[in-house]
Chain A
Amino acid sequence: MRLLYEENIEDIALGAAVLGTGGGGDPYVGKLMAREAVRQYGPVELYTLDELDDDDLIVPSAGMGAPIVIVEKLPAGDDMIRAFQALGKYSGRTPRGTMSIEAGGLNSIMPIYVAARLRIPMVDCDGMGRAFPEIQMTIFTAYGITASPFAMSDERGNVLLMDTVSNKWVETFARSCVVHMGAEGMIALYSATVKQLKEAAIYGTITLAEEIGQTVRDARINEANPVDAVRAAVGGFLIFRGKITDVDRRIEGGWNRGDATMAGTGEFEGQALKLDFQNEHLAVRVNGEFAATVPDLIAVLDGETGEPITTEALRYGMRVAVIAFPCAPQWREPDALKLAHPRYFGYDVDYIPVEERYRGL
């Protein structure tokens, strides 16, 4: 067990934006919530799974809705607590701690608020190792951990509890209910025992986010190359360096989809890259050939500062570096891969792990 203080939270937020692979919502509001809670209630205890009892019940906390709404209708705080406690009540058990369902973006950091306020452990693991747009897109789904019972609460005090036949149904119902809550709901879902998590969860992702954030910060202080520092911290590959030459966006079914093209610079001079995104970066092609796809992680970083760039912020003329790094190994097992296969997102291509594509480079 170790303690998370304010300064840890800054680093986690920056790392979470890298793991957000362009989506997952700006961690800013989550960072403030976590920071304020830690200021008020003291540091949060971060546990590894091994430090907990197999029977302990862990209930992940998160927010869902439109990222632009959360920057305006800031959470009440009580809404998160209410969803968390409602789930415990419905399960008939007191949760021992909380965790992130999604290591990338806003949701990586919001559970720290719950942990601080309730003075319960935060567990250093998550269900994706990255960010994905839909509730059922977790390793847990593949391992038979159910998203329901599912609790969602708003600032008014409404609590919705759902028990569904599949995780996809949670997504379907919750996505339409959240609109009635003003496009912002605080949720608790995927409750699991530590024993289940030891099998299914992705270990150490909060610490990973923190290390990435710390690396970028150190690189800036030492005037080292922050892009290279991030690449090394995540064990990834430099796919491309170049400038964005075109960005095409469209909204499809409520999702922010599009693609960006880039022209190579330096050692990539003369090469072309195409990046596809749907909330998150999904696939990159170099000179027409796939270079990396989901579920591996693709991050677009500012070429100089190493700052991660969200899909909304991609713009012509930016000088960027594209790195890709392996997803958690669990994603590569058949049941999990189905949920986040490039074909699920509409790319007619086999999934080849990024390190196999780049072996020997």
Chain B
Amino acid sequence: MRIGIDVGGTNTDAVLMDGTAVVSSTKTPTTANVSEGIARALRDVIADSGINTETIDGVMIGTTHFTNAVVERKHLTPTACIRLGLPATVCLPPMVDWPLDLRDIVGGNAHLAHGGHEFDGREISAFEPDEVRDIAEKIKAAGLNAIAISSVFSPVNSTFEEQSAEIVRSVIPNANITLSSEIGRIGLLERENAAIMNSCLRQLAARTVDGFKAALDELQIASPFYISQNDGTLMNADFAKEYPVLTFASGPTNSMRGAAFLSGLKDAIVVDVGGTTTDIGVLQHGFPRVAALAVEIGGVRTNFRMPDTYSIGLGGGSLIQEDPLKVGPRSVGYELTEKALVFGGDVLTTTDVIVAGGGEDIGNKHAVSGLDAGLVTAVQARIMEMIAIAVDRMKTSATPVPVIVVGGGSILVTGEIEGASEIIKPDHFPVANAIGAAIAQVGGECDRIFSLAELSRDEALDQAKQEASDRAINAGAAAESVDIVDVEEVPLAYLPGNATRIMVKAVGDLVGA
């Protein structure tokens, strides 16, 4: 059996699953000390099902804790950055576009050194070990041991980053080093930003993951535990301590993965209706489609794989303005159960309209019996129109696709969605996110530019697939279960040569799970 836990900003959800069956589920408020909330959720699902903790094979945890740390500027470790690429890149040093308050906290300790590669794998300049050693001495003298290392086109060739890490470790034995090539894609500043954030979160990650472990120990759960990543795959506890940034935006991902699992569909649109917003995402081969553009975290641009979601200001708590008719984006949010008409409040919300329309029996339905029937119909139509437009925006073609509706605000979906082949509201929809965590696999990726002068296209694709598979196996996947789930090729424009960027994603089942 597996337990999936999703620690959100408001609620901590947990589910106990036996194979593909949901045995029990719970929702508890998130606590300031994340581990306490997790312990409570664990206790609830275990007590609820009455199982023996020895039958638990794994605990999968999804958390927004590390994203929040960056957004709130809390628990961040001062971090140095070494960038290899001289003489290129000088005019835009590391952290150049960070909000100043965050840069102050992280320390702005940045160094440039020779090295780096061209898009086609040639060296920009020779690597100079002594130069890196001198920089390491300076970082040591500054009392820092958290370090991020980036190198130009390291997604094409990461050897200079690796060599630098070795030298830094020889100078600072307890160095905590993140290589940009381990995290990000093409786009030096964004990839480097992610690497720096990763290093500055590692101390917090170690404490947090140890806290999770302690919570499990307390409940005498001896099984291994895993943390969910934003691509819908898992990392083990040690890996999570190393790569906390990979948890960013894992919440929406888990929701989508849970929706895929609950509906049995691998290609669909997922509509996650909350209290204030509705997030729409796309499942491709059972995984969330990845955003193509830069995503800002706490004011810092990053470009590592994030789920491509589109949010609209529509939820169960959205306010309704009657003339002219307007639904959202303002919302009563978590105060729904005090302010909505059906809960004795004096604010007209979407939930009131759905109750008045007879779609749902929540709170005191007599409080809305006097609502104008025309208004009710108009609001319901507007809600469906808003969802339909957002769904359509996320589709890749006009072909109708299935739409899976999850989240606490699912009651808002009362009719047909234009462009949907079917609408599925699976069981257990309020805890789809925890289910997404529980069922996750492990994965690996490759994102590189290949010069097709030396390689045939097929050879390049094979290399990329091999690299992605190797990474999945390194992350804990059983080799025989590894599958390539996504391949994308983008030829480079404005160039007469034949260079192409290939992105491959592989996933497999956890060893022994």
Query: Are B491's CB and A74's CB within 8 A?
Result: no
Residue A37 CB within 8 A of the other chain:
yes
Interface size on A, as a range, is 35 or more
| A179 touching B491, Cβ below 8 Å | no
Could you tell me the distance between the alpha carbons of A313 and B190 in the complex, rounded to whole angstroms?
A: 18
A112 to chain B, nearest CB (A): 12
Selected from B292, B392, B493, the residue in CB contact (under 8 A) with A243 is: B392
Residues in A neighbouring B96, C-beta threshold 8 A: 32, 36
Roughly how many angstroms separate A69 CA and B293 CA in the complex, as a whole number?
16
Closest to A77 in B: B91
Known: A32-B96, A182-B119, A182-B122. Contact between A68 and B90, CB under 8 A? Answer: no
B479 to chain A, nearest CB (A): 32
Whether a CB of chain B sits under 8 angstroms from the CB of A2 is no
- Is the C-beta of A118 less than 8 angstroms from some C-beta in chain B? no
Within 8 A of B (CB), among A15-69: 29, 32-33, 36-37, 65-69
Asked if A146 is at the interface of the complex by the 8 Å CB criterion, the answer is: no
Contact with B along A205-245 (1 / 0, CB 8 A): 00000000000000000000000000000000000000101
**Chain B CB within 10 A, most for which of A133, A183, A279:** A183
Please indicate the chain A residues that have their CB under 8 angstroms from the CB of B325 in the complex.
none
Asked if A305 CB lies within 8 Å of chain B CBs, one says: no
Instruction: Tell me if A157 is interfacial: C-beta within 8 Å of chain B.
Output: yes
Chain A residues within 8 Å of B165, by CB: none
Complex alpha-carbon distance, A71 and B88, angstroms = 12
> How many interface contacts (CB-CB < 8 Å) are there between A and B?
130
CB-defined contacts of B397 to chain A, threshold 8 Å: 246, 316
Residues of B within 8 A of A77 (CB): 90-91
With A32-B97, A78-B87 as contacts: A71 and B188 at CB distance below 8 Å: yes
Q: Which of A65, A69, A253 gathers most chain B CB within 10 Å? A: A69
B293-A176 in contact (CB<8A): no
A255:B91 contact, CB within 8 angstroms = no
In the bound complex, do residue B494 and residue A254 qualify as a contact, i.e. CB atoms below 8 Å apart? yes
Kindly identify, within residues 148 to 189 of chain A, every residue whose CB is under 8 Å from any CB belonging to chain B: 155-157, 175-176, 179, 182-183
Q: Is A78 within 8 A of B395, CB to CB?
A: no
Interface of B is mostly: loop
Number of B residues whose C-beta is below 8 Å from A? Answer: 42
Mark contacts of B232-261 with chain A using CB atoms, 8 A cut-off: 1 yes-contact digit, 0 otherwise.
000000000000000000000000000000
- Interface check A329, CB cutoff 8 A: no
B493 and A67: CB pair below 8 A? yes
B90→A76 contact, CB < 8 A: yes
Contact of B118 among A73, A74, A157, A255 (CB under 8 A): A73
A66 to B96, CA, bound (A): 22
Shortest Cβ distance from A156 into B: residue: B87
Find out whether the CB atom of B395 lies under 8 angstroms from the CB atom of A73: no
Q: Does A315 contact B (CB under 8 A)?
A: yes
Known: A155-B124, A254-B496. A319 touches B393 (CB 8 A): yes
Q: Shortest distance in angstroms between A153's beta carbon and chain B's nearest beta carbon? A: 11
Known: A73-B116, A73-B124. A67 touches B89 (CB 8 A): no
**Is A318 interfacial (CB-CB < 8 Å)?**
yes
Beta-carbon nearest neighbor of B154 in chain A: A72
Q: Is B436 engaged at the interface, CB distance under 8 Å to the other chain? A: no
Contacts beyond the supplied A32-B189, A71-B187, A254-B497: 15 A-B pairs with Cβ under 8 Å: A32-B97, A36-B96, A37-B91, A66-B492, A71-B186, A72-B153, A72-B186, A74-B188, A76-B88, A133-B494, A183-B118, A183-B499, A246-B398, A254-B496, A313-B293
Name 13 A/B residue pairs within 8 A (Cβ), A-sorted.
A33-B91, A66-B495, A68-B501, A73-B152, A74-B189, A76-B87, A77-B90, A179-B495, A183-B119, A251-B491, A253-B496, A254-B495, A316-B396
A residues at B contact (CB < 8 Å): 29, 32-33, 36-37, 65-69, 71-78, 113, 133, 155-157, 175-176, 179, 182-183, 243, 245-246, 251, 253-256, 279, 313, 315-319
Pairs of residues from A and B, 9 with the lowest C-beta to C-beta distance, nearest first? A77-B91, A256-B493, A182-B118, A155-B88, A74-B89, A317-B393, A251-B491, A66-B494, A155-B87
